[in-house]
Amino acid sequence: MSRPPLAREKVLDAFEAILVDEGERAATMDATARGAGVSKGGLLYHFSSKDALESGILDRLRALVDEDVAAMTASPDGAVAYFLRSSVMQNDPIDRAILATARLAQGGNTAAAEALRDVREKWADALRPHAKDAASLDLVMLVSDGLYFNNALDGGSIPGPVPRDAAMDALVTLVERAIAP
């Protein structure tokens, strides 16, 4: 697979950063061009409209989630352990793509909302063979949601518990025992 042009990725990175840091309304074409350090013409060469930029973010998210699911299913520690451990946000590319997509969804973008539902379903599909029933799968997904949410609050005014090292190991073991087929 060929890599997208560097300038295109730089523009998409700038758009993503504005979405994450300032929200959907601030993510204009002009702000994106400034953030990427390109002319408006340079931006338009790669993305002819804001809709095209938004589609680029959704494409990026889909690609990152496909990579994540492949890593999850190949993990020597098992899919559930991988999924729970990776639910602690690290501000890595997939986290930023999820946040940017969530900002678009909050702004009323139905394709972004659908993309987020698709992400969740891809993760659930990868985890389903490791759970004894639907309630067990829900447990894994909800623990993941809690880890992600509490980590997002960490450092804020209402920090939540984010297990690390031995505490994370214990949590993973507990969840795996509870859901074992």
In a domain, 67, yes or no: yes
pLDDT band at 163 (very low <50, low <70, confident <90, very high): confident
Q: 155: burial class by Cβ within 10 Å (0-12, 13-18, 19+)?
A: exposed
In a domain, 109, yes or no: yes
pLDDT band at 7 (very low <50, low <70, confident <90, very high): confident
pLDDT in tens, 74-95: 999 999 999 999 998 888 899 9
In a domain, 46, yes or no: no
The total of structural domains in the chain comes to 1
In a domain, 79, yes or no: yes
In a domain, 75, yes or no: yes
In a domain, 29, yes or no: no
Q: What is the mean pLDDT of residues 13-41?
A: 94
In a domain, 87, yes or no: yes
Q: What is the C-alpha to C-alpha distance for residues 11 and 36, in angstroms, rounded to an integer? A: 5
Q: What is the mean pLDDT of residues 129-154?
A: 89
pLDDT in tens, 150-161: 777 655 555 566
pLDDT of residue 58 exceeding 90? yes
For residue 90, the enclosing domain spans 54-179
Q: What is the C-alpha to C-alpha distance for residues 127 and 3, in angstroms, rounded to an integer? A: 30
